[in-house]
């Protein structure tokens, strides 16, 4: 069956059982600043699970676009993706276990109305109870499964880690106000030989790839109480006003089960994109797959195929939903997906632009249910082309510098100065027969990250999350601007926030009055003079006290480690500006003035009480 077939059958099945089919909520949650993405079907329905009445009634079903950034490292095996569709049916205080488990079983096994799966391949799990919270075992679910006809040796019970569901995990981890309950999962046995590296015995929750979870019925009936004195034991929970069912099933995995092929990247929606990758790499995905003894252990080529397929599908949904690559929040996640894909394409030997072409394969695949993907084809294409070109430039530049280094390759400098990924340096070095001391590089990177976190991430509250050439230039321009503001307005000016992208820089600073045109012109003039002067930008690591003595500018309220890195514009003993900062920066201010560019203040406005905000560009 195809993705469309399974989605339709599921929604029809529950519509026939008096469920109202509701549309997917957007992938970026509305009115919920606490989370970047919708990551499960229940998320948009939390208010109703808590007791509010839903306008469509007490029985709902849908297919929800979901994205789990936390699974990004898992992508590469046979069953994990960051983006997926979650089929869901809900009882808001209406039916409960006695209906839910038989219905789902019926959907899985019935040939006419459902998927017609072989019942012998189904395994189920139930909640074994949890000592820490005192929550009892769900023996009722076991009895229901037995009555349905599931054999004893296909029923397994696990503790809270596996068979308790809340967005925060096990009962003890749930914050006050969070809802949760015991759940019962169904697994499909793909019949692959067990891989003992994952444990002596295979069982539904074994990670070897033989069993894949295809649906989870959560009996959402508890809420964590407000009274902190009750701790995390059973007393800390109270029953929700109504007992709910929250069912979630991974659509792609269900499709894979109908094909009896454990590899979810073989389902129809990936066909077109996979074909593009095959023709561009000259490798056949199926051949790559066949060369491994099992799906748990993946070859790097297979991983690369899968990562690109997953990430480009997710990127298409994000771009069509209005997200753009950027340095913060959703935009940063999108940028990460694109850049990771590009590195994987490189591993497949694809050296020219490819991502837009891969993503082009998803428009048609989702046309029937998510027309907006098809309709956004142009945007998806142009944004991917732009981002890919920009990152390729970073890579080319870094590669050039790496060549210049000969046999003494400095992965750390390549990363901090040119944004060149460390893993890539390692691989290239390997090609030259040079084994880099990765432990030492790692240690330096960790130190750098700590410094960046303390110095840059806290300081630049909005984040300087990428190291594209233009972003780095704006970062240096930002240092020049802060100093120029102090020279024009006075030394009470300090930075209070910042956000730097490849399009512009933004600074929030302590100052109460609107700046006059003369003041703005004076600031611009000073910055442009420093650019024209071609001053070196120098990084020095030193004791915190020493940096303070030098008067290095630092962020209000930030705490710094004992050893800090400072960046000076101009030599340290004769600097125009000195700041605590993790970098990266240009090597020389003249780079900001390339092609006759001038620093220009676009906007000066109030940000909050006593804080002004400037947006500026180099153009």
Tokens of residue 482, six digits = 């802060």
- Nearer CB in complex with ligand SER: 78/216: 216
What phi, psi does 289 have (nearest 5°)?
Answer: -65, -45
Q: How far is the CB of 583 from ligand SER (least distance, A)?
A: 40
Stretch that binds ligand SER, among 245-253, 326-334, 476-484, 575-583 (CB under 6 A): 245-253
- Nearer CB in complex with ligand SER: 76/248: 248
Q: How far is the CB of 216 from ligand SER (least distance, A)?
A: 4
Q: Which of residues 130-189 bind ligand SER (CB under 6 A)?
A: 165
Does 88 sit near ligand SER (CB under 6 A)? yes
Return the DSSP state at 130: B
Stretch that binds ligand SER, among 35-43, 136-144, 366-374, 533-541 (CB under 6 A): 35-43
Task: List Cβ neighbours of 474 (8 Å cut-off, separation of 6 or more).
Answer: 500, 501, 502, 504, 505, 618
Q: How far is the CB of 40 from ligand SER (least distance, A)?
A: 3
Looking at 130, 189, 195, 246, which residue binds ligand SER (CB under 6 A)? 246
Looking at 45, 214, 218, 384, which residue binds ligand SER (CB under 6 A)? 218
- CA–CA distance, 529 with 170 (Å, rounded to integer): 59
Does 250 sit near ligand SER (CB under 6 A)? no
Looking at 24, 38, 40, 133, which residue binds ligand SER (CB under 6 A)? 40
- Nearer CB in complex with ligand SER: 86/267: 86
Looking at 81, 184, 216, 495, which residue binds ligand SER (CB under 6 A)? 216
Q: How far is the CB of 66 from ligand SER (least distance, A)?
A: 8
Count Cα atoms within 13 angstroms, Cβ side, for 248: 21
Stretch that binds ligand SER, among 34-42, 406-414, 458-466, 599-607 (CB under 6 A): 34-42
- Nearer CB in complex with ligand SER: 253/473: 253
Does 62 sit near ligand SER (CB under 6 A)? no
Write the Ramachandran bin of 419: left for phi over 0, alpha for psi from -120 to 50, otherwise beta: left
Q: How far is the CB of 281 from ligand SER (least distance, A)?
A: 34
- Nearer CB in complex with ligand SER: 45/424: 45
- Nearer CB in complex with ligand SER: 41/363: 41
Does 42 sit near ligand SER (CB under 6 A)? yes
Size of the site for ligand SER (CB under 6 A): 10
Q: How far is the CB of 162 from ligand SER (least distance, A)?
A: 12
Q: β-strand 155-158 against 122-127: which pairing, if any? A: parallel
Tokens of residue 603, six digits = 């906007």
Contact 108, 114 (CB under 8 A): yes
Residue nearest to ligand SER (CB): 248
- CA–CA distance, 397 with 72 (Å, rounded to integer): 27
- Nearer CB in complex with ligand SER: 164/509: 164
Stretch that binds ligand SER, among 193-201, 241-249, 352-360, 419-427 (CB under 6 A): 241-249
- Nearer CB in complex with ligand SER: 44/363: 44
- CA–CA distance, 105 with 154 (Å, rounded to integer): 14
| Binding flags for ligand SER, 404-443, as an x/- string (CB under 6 A) | ----------------------------------------
- Nearer CB in complex with ligand SER: 42/578: 42
Q: How far is the CB of 16 from ligand SER (least distance, A)?
A: 21
Picking from 39, 4, 42, the residue whose alpha carbon sits closest to that of residue 252 is 4
Q: How far is the CB of 73 from ligand SER (least distance, A)?
A: 19
Stretch that binds ligand SER, among 242-250, 326-334, 341-349, 367-375 (CB under 6 A): 242-250
Count Cα atoms within 13 angstroms, Cβ side, for 207: 9
Stretch that binds ligand SER, among 39-47, 52-60, 307-315, 528-536 (CB under 6 A): 39-47
Looking at 44, 114, 248, 361, which residue binds ligand SER (CB under 6 A)? 248
Picking from 167, 145, 165, 171, the residue whose alpha carbon sits closest to that of residue 156 is 145
- CA–CA distance, 614 with 509 (Å, rounded to integer): 8
Task: List Cβ neighbours of 196 (8 Å cut-off, separation of 6 or more).
Answer: none
- Nearer CB in complex with ligand SER: 162/506: 162
Return the DSSP state at 468: -
- Nearer CB in complex with ligand SER: 88/209: 88
Distances (CA, A) of 509 to 22, 200, 248: 46, 60, 47
Sheet containing 611-618: order of strands = 495-500, 505-510, 611-618, 599-608
Burial zone of 583 (CB within 10 Å; 0-12 exposed, 13-18 middle, 19+ buried)? buried
Picking from 173, 171, 175, the residue whose alpha carbon sits closest to that of residue 134 is 171
Q: How far is the CB of 270 from ligand SER (least distance, A)?
A: 22
Looking at 11, 27, 36, 41, which residue binds ligand SER (CB under 6 A)? 41
Give 479-523 as a DSSP string: HHHHHHHHHHH-TT--EEEEEE-SS-EEEEEE--SPPPHHHHHHH
- Nearer CB in complex with ligand SER: 165/370: 165
Contact 156, 185 (CB under 8 A): no
Q: How far is the CB of 246 from ligand SER (least distance, A)?
A: 5
Q: How far is the CB of 230 from ligand SER (least distance, A)?
A: 25
Helices of type H across 321-468: 329-347, 355-359, 362-365, 371-375, 377-404, 411-418, 422-431, 438-451
Task: List Cβ neighbours of 217 (8 Å cut-off, separation of 6 or more).
Answer: 97, 100, 101, 104, 183, 184, 185, 245, 246, 247
- CA–CA distance, 521 with 103 (Å, rounded to integer): 71
Q: 251-258 and 3-16 are packed helices; what angle lies between their axes, rounded to 10 degrees?
A: 110
Q: How far is the CB of 433 from ligand SER (least distance, A)?
A: 48
Q: First-to-last CA distance in the chain? A: 54
Does 325 sit near ligand SER (CB under 6 A)? no
- Nearer CB in complex with ligand SER: 89/452: 89
Q: Which residues bind ligand SER (CB under 6 A)?
A: 40-42, 88, 165, 216, 218, 246-248
């Amino acid at each position: 069956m195809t993705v469309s077939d399974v989605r339709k059958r599921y929604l029809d099945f529950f519509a026939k059982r008096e469920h109202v089919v509701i549309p997917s909520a957007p992938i970026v949650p509305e009115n919920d600043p606490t989370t970047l993405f919708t990551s499960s079907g229940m998320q948009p329905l939390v208010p109703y699970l808590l007791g509010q009445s839903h306008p469509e009634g007490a029985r709902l079903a849908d297919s929800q676009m979901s994205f789990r950034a936390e699974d990004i490292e898992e992508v590469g095996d046979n069953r994990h993706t960051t983006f997926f569709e979650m089929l869901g049916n809900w009882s808001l205080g209406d039916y409960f276990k006695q209906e839910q488990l038989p219905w789902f079983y019926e959907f899985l096994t019935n040939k006419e109305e459902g998927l017609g799966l072989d019942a012998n391949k189904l395994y189920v799990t139930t909640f074994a109870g949890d000592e820490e919270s005192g929550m009892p075992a769900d023996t009722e679910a076991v009895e229901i499964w037995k009555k349905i006809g599931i054999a004893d040796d296909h029923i397994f019970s696990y503790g809270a880690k596996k068979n308790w569901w809340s967005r925060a995990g096990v009962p003890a981890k749930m914050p006050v106000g969070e809802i949760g309950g015991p759940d019962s999962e169904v697994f499909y046995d793909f019949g692959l030989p067990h891989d003992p590296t994952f444990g002596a015995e295979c069982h539904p929750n074994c990670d070897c790839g033989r069993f894949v979870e295809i649906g989870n019925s959560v009996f959402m009936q508890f809420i964590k109480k407000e009274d902190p004195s009750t701790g995390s034991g059973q007393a800390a929970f109270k029953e929700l006003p109504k007992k709910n069912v929250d069912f979630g099933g991974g659509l792609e995995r269900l499709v894979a089960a109908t094909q009896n092929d454990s590899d979810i990247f073989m389902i129809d929606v990936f066909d077109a994109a996979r074909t593009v990758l095959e023709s561009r790499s000259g490798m056949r995905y199926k051949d790559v797959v066949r060369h491994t003894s099992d799906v748990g252990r993946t070859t790097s080529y297979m991983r690369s195929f899968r990562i690109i397929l997953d990430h480009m599908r997710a990127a298409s949904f994000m771009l069509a939903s209005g997200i753009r690559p950027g340095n913060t929040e959703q935009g940063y996640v999108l940028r990460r997906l694109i850049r990771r894909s590009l590195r994987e394409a490189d591993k497949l030997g694809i050296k020219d632009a490819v991502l837009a072409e891969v993503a082009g394969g998803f428009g048609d695949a989702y046309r029937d249910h998510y027309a907006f993907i098809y309709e956004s084809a142009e945007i998806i294409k142009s944004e991917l082309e732009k981002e890919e070109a920009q990152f390729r430039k970073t890579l080319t530049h870094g590669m050039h510098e790496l060549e210049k280094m000969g046999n003494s390759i400095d992965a750390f400098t390549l990363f901090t100065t040119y944004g060149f990924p460390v893993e890539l340096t390692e691989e290239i070095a390997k090609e030259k027969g040079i084994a880099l001391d990765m432990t030492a590089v790692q240690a330096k990177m960790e130190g750098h990250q700590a410094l960046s976190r303390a110095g840059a991430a806290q300081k630049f509250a909005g984040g300087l999350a990428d190291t594209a050439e233009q972003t780095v230039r704006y970062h240096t321009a930002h240092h020049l601007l802060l100093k120029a503001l102090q020279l024009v307005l006075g030394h009470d000016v300090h930075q209070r926030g910042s956000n730097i992208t490849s399009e512009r820089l933004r600074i929030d600073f302590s100052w109460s009055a609107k700046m006059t045109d003369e003041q703005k012109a004076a600031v611009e003039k000073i910055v442009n003079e420093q650019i024209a002067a071609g001053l070196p930008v120098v990084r020095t690591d030193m004791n915190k006290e020493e940096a303070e003595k030098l008067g290095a500018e630092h962020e209000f309220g930030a705490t710094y480690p004992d050893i800090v890195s400072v960046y000076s514009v101009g030599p340290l003993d004769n600097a125009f500006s000195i700041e605590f900062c993790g970098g990266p920066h240009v090597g020389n201010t003249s780079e900001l003035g390339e092609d006759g560019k001038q620093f220009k203040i676009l906007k000066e406005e109030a940000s909050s009480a006593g804080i002004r905000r400037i947006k500026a560009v180099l153009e």
